[in-house]
Structure 1
Amino acid sequence: MNYENLPNRSIFCIDMKCFYASCMASLHNLDVMTTPIAVIGSFEQPGSVVLAASPPMKQRFKIKTGNRRYEIPKHPDIHLFEPKMSYFIDMSMEITKHISKYVPPEAIHVYSIDESFVDLTGTEKLWGPPELTAQKIQREIYNLFGIPSAVGMGPNMLLAKLALDLDAKKTGFAKWTYDDVPEKLWPVKPLSEMWGIGSRMEANLNDMGIFSVGDLAHSNLNDLEKRFGVMGNQHYHHAWGIDLSNLGEPLVTKGQISFGKGQMLMRDYHTRKEIAIVLLEMCEDVMRRTREAGYVGRTITLGISYSDRAMTNGFYRSKTIEVPTNETMVMYRVCIELLDKYFEGEPARQLSVRLTNLEPERSIQLDLFDERKDRRQVLGHTVDAIRTKFGATSLLRAVSFTDAGTALKREKLVGGHLA
């Protein structure tokens, strides 16, 4: 592969280690690197999920993100906290503000609340070698905010991210170049360790005899494109460390977007009726965002995970409809159809809905046999406008006021957790 004409910038990706736990440690004058700390969703729920755990919590007590509160041993050294999402967001914004002292805002891409990409290209005359500048920023964040971090650097966003995930999270700092791809990237396996490859794609690639990133880099591009389309092309070039994304663009191919919502229920939902209530609220939220973005979609997906006491794991199923839509009730009816077909009566604890296979809303065609379609489209946008102006709970369906409804309670949360 000839890398001569490919981007060769000075980009680093910084990740705040166990961010929620680090924030709570900072707030309570604790050392996150020596104190066992766990941030859990709620003290009221024994099955509440651990959102973050400090290194000593992971090493000494084997408690990490995803464990349940009841799994945490009772020990005097352990500190438990509920999340303070407003504080976490404020801390994230302050960290970004500090980084902006070194580069202009357009050189910063906030990837998540605890992770950002920064382009240091052209700052050499101001701050010196980019790798030293990145490490200086890393030290200052720890000294100012008490938040430890890991930094990966690379000539593009992809290699910076890979250097972070595969190297720097163990060492604190790592810089990769195109020359490092054969030695550091190609040996990676299983394939799900590679950024952008999930378990399903890994299984599909394994079926083709591809088990490592090196196997992927040396596979037949035509075969990959024939089977996976544009995603096959992307995975092939990612295996060579190639990424043409500009800072600020997502690290995915343009057009590969979707709208979805996942929700962890605060108790087991045992009946179809209860689950259907939450599904209607979730479809309402997904379709509101779809309408605001100006899209319609054809493929609707429903996922349900059962509680730990269930005999099965749940399901994740999709249906593609003929006419693209952004109507709440259309999505809801498909979700109910999938629920009736695959629900096994086990207690549900987590739900997810998603709309994919998108196209612009203007592509909707008139339906001579559905005279009310235009009215429903106008009604949907009108309801969206009212909620935008007066708040998400200013207009609610009656089911949201039942015991199974979650919309009113979740409106008081930030990012699904306590503010």
Structure 2
Amino acid sequence: MFDYSKFPNKQIACIDMMSFYASCMASLHSLDVRKVPIAIVGNLKQRGSVVLAASPAMKKRFKIKTGNRLYEIPHHPEIRLFEPKMAYFLEMSMSITKILHKYVPAEAIHVYSVDESFIDLTGTEKLWGDPAQTVKKIQKEIFETLNLPSTAGLAPNMLLAKLCLDLQGKKTGFAKWTYDDVQTKLWPVSPLSEMWGIGRQTEKSLNDMGIVSVGDLANFDLQRLETRFGVLGNQLYHHAWGIDLSEVGAPMPEGQVSYGKSQILMRDYNTIAEVRAVLLEMCEDVAKRARDASKAGRTISLGIGYSKNALGGGFQRSRTINEATNETMKIYAICKELLSENYDNRPVRQISLSITKLENEQSIQLSLFEKDNWRDRAIGSVMDNIRNRFGSTAILRAISLTDAGTAIKRSELVGGHKG
């Protein structure tokens, strides 16, 4: 048993907007997101366009959720369809943060995502009273001001606040956990992927060790977990006991562990030439972001998702090179190799790309055997400067002007969708 008196016992709340994107559109059009079936669709003019968000009524009554396609939505007089307004969504997100600032200082707020935030209410009792009532007051103000319903969890640390929200608060609107609740409310959780921070691959590895619930994980031998997973094993063990030393408002670790991009294509891409066209554009974008941050990576990862019309599936492959790079064409060359080795000629609907194992660009030693290295880097720098000054489409590769190219259309979007 843990002596919880040695660990932080704060008043951390995790507040999440209910069906945020659908709620924003409902607010804009004076609708009740809890009653009206609403779907946010990438492009209403394309039948294969993806459902980006759905209201509770849409999910419950019509079984339509994120990832469905426009053509799968039934024709029904009560259904309301909207295209995303990303600029408006971001504006609403900032409005939520402004409300939080009325209750706690900036350093006591951690914006986890566009629709979810952590706030530290420790020590605010003299100002606002009981933290549980304060959270409910904040939820009420967000709803009355912005017409956005929310759910919340309150607990001694960020981990338990998030778990309290996900496992109970989203069903009841608000929930509060203490360390005393760990064994009765957290340990029964199974499958393990329902535990915040445990993905499918880690879940499978734990299952192979006979660990199928959070309680199993908490009572497993710590040394064996550390032998199998290293530092992650130690973290998994302590998380199973509800222990988390993260600080709200603490600065994020310096730097970024990867640069990546993912696209759901607006139609099936049926040839490798079409896929390569989009892939080159994505390599250009990812490489530029790495160059802007003066970073370069040694591992290039490519993911391909096949169309539902071809029974779905796909592959994810990586390749590590000897020298880190942020050059577009070098990254593209690796991606072409991975594509040629694994692509089985089925129509493609999703492409993802990332570079990892980053290091500072200044540490790269250009090979003396590649005479065009300096020239290529200089050309890349000039192209980046033009785009930074005049926009992403100020200078384009010819492939972007073909039917397969998506760069021009995507340049008109905010956050990947219409502004």
Q: With the length of structure 2 as denominator, give the TM-score of the two structures.
A: 0.94
Match of 1:193 in 2: 194
1:59-208 equivalences under 5 Å are 59-208=60-209
Q: Do residues 307 (structure 1) and 307 (structure 2) align? A: yes
Equivalent-residue separation in structure 2 for 1:153 and 1:382 (angstroms): 50
Match of 2:274 in 1: 274
Percent identity, aligned pairs only, is 63
Equivalent-residue separation in structure 1 for 2:302 and 2:59 (angstroms): 33
Equivalent-residue separation in structure 1 for 2:346 and 2:116 (angstroms): 37
Match of 2:15 in 1: 14
Equivalent-residue separation in structure 2 for 1:60 and 1:101 (angstroms): 38
Letter in 2 for 1:337: E
In structure 1, runs of 5+ residues without a counterpart are none
| Distance change >3 Å, CA 77–CA 158, structure 1 → 2 | same
Indicate the SS of the match to 2:243. Answer: coil
Indicate the SS of the match to 1:4. Answer: helix
Indicate the SS of the match to 2:226. Answer: helix
Letter in 2 for 1:273: A
Match of 2:236 in 1: 235
Shift of 1:106: 2.1
For each residue in 1:61-93, what CA deviation from the matched residue of structure 2 results, as whole angstroms up to 9, or x when unmatched? 222222221121111111111111111111111
For each residue in 1:313-360, what CA deviation from the matched residue of structure 2 results, as whole angstroms up to 9, or x when unmatched? 111111122222222222211111110011010110011011122333
Q: CA RMSD in A?
A: 2.0
Match of 2:43 in 1: 42
Equivalent-residue separation in structure 2 for 1:242 and 1:300 (angstroms): 35
Equivalent-residue separation in structure 1 for 2:275 and 2:128 (angstroms): 56
Shift of 1:311: 3.8
Equivalent-residue separation in structure 2 for 1:141 and 1:186 (angstroms): 33
1:228-377 equivalences under 5 Å are 228-248=229-249, 257-377=257-377
Equivalent-residue separation in structure 1 for 2:295 and 2:248 (angstroms): 24
Q: Do residues 216 (structure 1) and 237 (structure 2) align? A: no
Equivalent-residue separation in structure 2 for 1:149 and 1:86 (angstroms): 21
For each residue in 1:175-222, what CA deviation from the matched residue of structure 2 results, as whole angstroms up to 9, or x when unmatched? 122222111111111111111111112112212222111222222333
Shift of 1:43: 0.7
Equivalent-residue separation in structure 1 for 2:231 and 2:254 (angstroms): 10
Letter in 2 for 1:129: D
Indicate the SS of the match to 1:309. Answer: helix
Query: Which moves more between the two structures, 125-134 or 385-394?
Result: 385-394
Indicate the SS of the match to 2:368. Answer: coil
| Distance change >3 Å, CA 362–CA 249, structure 1 → 2 | farther
Equivalent-residue separation in structure 2 for 1:386 and 1:417 (angstroms): 24
| Distance change >3 Å, CA 254–CA 229, structure 1 → 2 | farther
| Distance change >3 Å, CA 27–CA 137, structure 1 → 2 | same
Indicate the SS of the match to 2:4. Answer: coil
Q: With the length of structure 1 as denominator, give the TM-score of the two structures.
A: 0.94
For each residue in 1:105-130, what CA deviation from the matched residue of structure 2 results, as whole angstroms up to 9, or x when unmatched? 22222111111111112211111111
Shift of 1:227: 2.9
Equivalent-residue separation in structure 1 for 2:211 and 2:299 (angstroms): 28
